[in-house]
Structure 1
């Protein structure tokens, strides 16, 4: 039985050493990443049984990608080996006042060649508690979107819970198309894990000016946003919203909120994050939420775990959070000071 199965595109990540710009680079560091893969890698590291579904080319690059996933305990038996190439993205890490930047080279990647019947969704989802995917996957191509819908429908038929992150990417589509597609998908979603901006701009939850301080929602505004989202999509069993405030590319503030067991909206503490590697922070947060749901943690504890995992990811090079369940439990015990363990 898989506790979490995810579906999406994993890519080869190439980034200049340190904080060099791409124009300066004479070499690139290699890693692998993609939102759905990042989530199951993080979960597998903390003891959750996971599986990942995608398409990968039948070549040494595809083999290396499978080995990366297996290294962290992710089941790869449902990966289809098909297609010509693995998608690539180039990451220029930001620092100080210079933001991180991404250049995609993912056109015609293997996952976009997916066809009906390539994945036996019935077989895998009848063995899965939670199925997870994101708006990134929905944006890739019509073929992938069609398959995502099949997976969502199959999950509902097999009893697997559907978890979804809007994860809007402006380099893949615009807000209008994202709203059209994701609004249709929302009827299948049980657990929504996303951020304030994507709720407002993709799901078109309008907020009056009085609920803002500058560009940020006030606490009252956050509660109103949550309630309006819940009213619009009454099928949602769990809603977890995150908020990030960027002081600079090197320092962020991150927190989250949800509805607790008594029906009250509860907020996590605000975590000040020192950024070593920004990519995958939201995915680590999602992994923490799913961990909390699977372990039946109370809502405030779930938020504590999830925001801590997000903060911890920013200190780890690469797309995925590499940690252990013991490290997370120590954080729950408030041993997260950063002091050396001897």
Structure 2
């Protein structure tokens, strides 16, 4: 198979963050309907790393994102959507054939849970090899970001994620990983076994409290979980989140706290974790760990109020929220 990159800018860029991961098209019934009721579906791009890349670019950082996608109109929909927010997509690898991952998402309100069905096995991204990666591009960024969903997809991606982490470390760059566990992609046992090899190569770890419990067997207060993750796996910077109930970071031996946010009324939680990671990275790169927690919590909270996976929020709006937290109409 002869894969290629689209013609266009190929010069080395001075980037803050490069994100690597799969991307999919999400299909959802209108409103809060069920799939079996649907006669038309909303179509939108999604993917943890793409979501984070878009959020980071909207905050003003220089961001690149790449993946491997089949030549297909819906693949172009994804890439065009990511590019529209200012993300560099020049290193996307295009395969002349192959599958594009999809998911079907039913939004819901309690007591009915939201549900996701994946159809992403054997996607073009699962065949991405080391020879298709522009290593100079990857290691030119200050941060290389991946989610744990990528190595869950294939053995080849497990090997590739390890190499990316090693190459970033050798280049003196920060490899950031969001555990982002998905039970429909791999078992807790398989995930824990693999993560035991990847986490020691990780410079910054994002982990939801439920994932620390379910996958890594770590329970207790957020502070204790963050510290234990750092000490057990040798990760110098660990961020443990619990949604609107706040987050903790244990970084270079120091504990940082972010309190629960008031007045968070979730409209759609999908993508909020990716928004938190993006907000944290922005804050961390511009002011350190505490600023990272503050910006991560604020961006995640604002994303809760929006439909879809992309965080249509800008830097001024996050700063305004942090300064006042005033939910009244801005006139």
Distance 1:306 1:29, change over 3 A: same
Contact kept, 8 Å, 2:283 with 2:294, in 1: the verdict is no
Contact kept, 8 Å, 2:261 with 2:301, in 1: the verdict is no
Determine if the alignment matches structure 1 residue 93 to structure 2 residue 107.
Answer: yes
Equivalent residues in 2 for 1:124-203, closer than 5 Å: 124-203=137-216
Determine if the alignment matches structure 1 residue 72 to structure 2 residue 85.
Answer: yes
Contact kept, 8 Å, 2:245 with 2:259, in 1: the verdict is no
More deviation in 193-202 or 221-230? 221-230
Distance 1:264 1:276, change over 3 A: closer
Q: Distance in 2 between matches of 1:159 and 1:231?
A: 21
Cα displacement (A) at 1:146: 1.8
Provide the alpha-carbon RMSD of the alignment: 1.7
More deviation in 51-60 or 28-37? 51-60
Contact kept, 8 Å, 1:5 with 1:50, in 2: the verdict is yes
Match of 1:322 among 303, 309, 312: 312
Q: TM-score, normalized by length of structure 2?
A: 0.91
- String of CA shifts for 1:13-46, please: whole Å, max 9, x gaps: 1000000011110000010011111111001011
Cα displacement (A) at 1:270: 3.7
1:210 is matched with none
Determine if the alignment matches structure 1 residue 104 to structure 2 residue 118.
Answer: yes
Contact kept, 8 Å, 1:256 with 1:267, in 2: the verdict is yes
Match of 2:249 among 248, 258, 261: 258
Contact kept, 8 Å, 2:237 with 2:251, in 1: the verdict is no
In structure 1, the gaps of 5 or more residues are 208-216, 245-252
Distance 1:276 1:141, change over 3 A: same
Match of 1:275 among 249, 266, 273: 266
1:238 is matched with 237
2:327 is matched with 338
Contact kept, 8 Å, 1:16 with 1:92, in 2: the verdict is yes
1:228 is matched with 228
More deviation in 222-231 or 312-321? 222-231
SS in 1 for 2:16: strand
Distance 1:293 1:303, change over 3 A: same
Q: Distance in 2 between matches of 1:222 and 1:262?
A: 15
Cα displacement (A) at 1:258: 1.6
Q: Distance in 2 between matches of 1:262 and 1:330?
A: 31
Cα displacement (A) at 1:262: 8.4
Q: Distance in 2 between matches of 1:333 and 1:292?
A: 15
1:113 is matched with 127
In structure 2, the gaps of 5 or more residues are 1-13
Cα displacement (A) at 1:116: 3.1
Q: TM-score, normalized by length of structure 1?
A: 0.88
Q: Distance in 2 between matches of 1:283 and 1:12?
A: 16
Q: Distance in 2 between matches of 1:264 and 1:318?
A: 33
Q: Distance in 2 between matches of 1:223 and 1:62?
A: 41
Q: Distance in 2 between matches of 1:116 and 1:297?
A: 32
Contact kept, 8 Å, 1:254 with 1:272, in 2: the verdict is no
